[in-house]
Amino acid sequence: MGIEIHMNVKLLGYTSSPEKLPAMAAILTHSKIKPENLEKTPKKEHSAVLEQVLKLGHTSVIEHASFTFAISDVSRSLTHQLVRHRIASYSQQSQRYVNLNEPNYVTPPSIGKNMRTKKAYEETMGVIWAHYNKLLGLKIPAEDARYVLPNATCTNIMVTMNARSLLNFFELRCCLHAQWEIRMLANKMLKEVKKVAPLIFRNVGPSCKTKQICPEKKKNCPLYPK
């Protein structure tokens, strides 16, 4: 079956006190207070300091906070893009050890919205899985049979990123010129982290919003800085 837009994103865990620790790190750099005594500084001071360093672009301190996501029912095309973000940890469902004999794939909206293209797409997927299962039936190892599987094949992955890496990820992947699937993922992840670290991720998004610049130089984009 083709999964059209059934992507699931869940924040599994995150650094305890994800905004307090970066604030303590920021205070440390301009204070004689020993690190072990920074917890005694007032909570109000933590928020003020963190807000100030973020405004100045001093984002190294937020590397002390990390976030782990469970991501399911996405395509291998998406995860190929996702793992290009190198400062992160990934654990992905294996095509060597997991039985993939049932067709399970993502259907892009541009294909799914048209009956003619959707039919052609589904027929292609049916042929691919038939040959995949045929190879398995001929005792071809799953690690070799998987070579015929498409980028559309569904997969599940766990991702851990620190907050600074997430800022970069959101800047690039929330952009309207990012591919639709990874843009959807980025927006879902951003929604999750805003719940637990609202100050860090308050003004986060594509660079047209955060920096008033468009690296893509796409003047026809509705978000292009005026």
Catalytic residue list: 173
Residues 6+ apart with CB under 8 A from 220: none
- Determine the Cα–Cα distance for residues 11 and 69; give it in Å rounded to an integer: 5
DSSP code of residue 35? G
- Determine the Cα–Cα distance for residues 53 and 225; give it in Å rounded to an integer: 25
CB 158 within 8 A of CB 165: no
Give the DSSP per-residue string, 20-32: HHHHHHHHHHT-S
Bridge partners, residue 66, by sequence: 162
CB 175 within 8 A of CB 207: yes
Q: How many residues does the chain have?
A: 226
CB 203 within 8 A of CB 210: yes
- Determine the Cα–Cα distance for residues 181 and 201; give it in Å rounded to an integer: 21
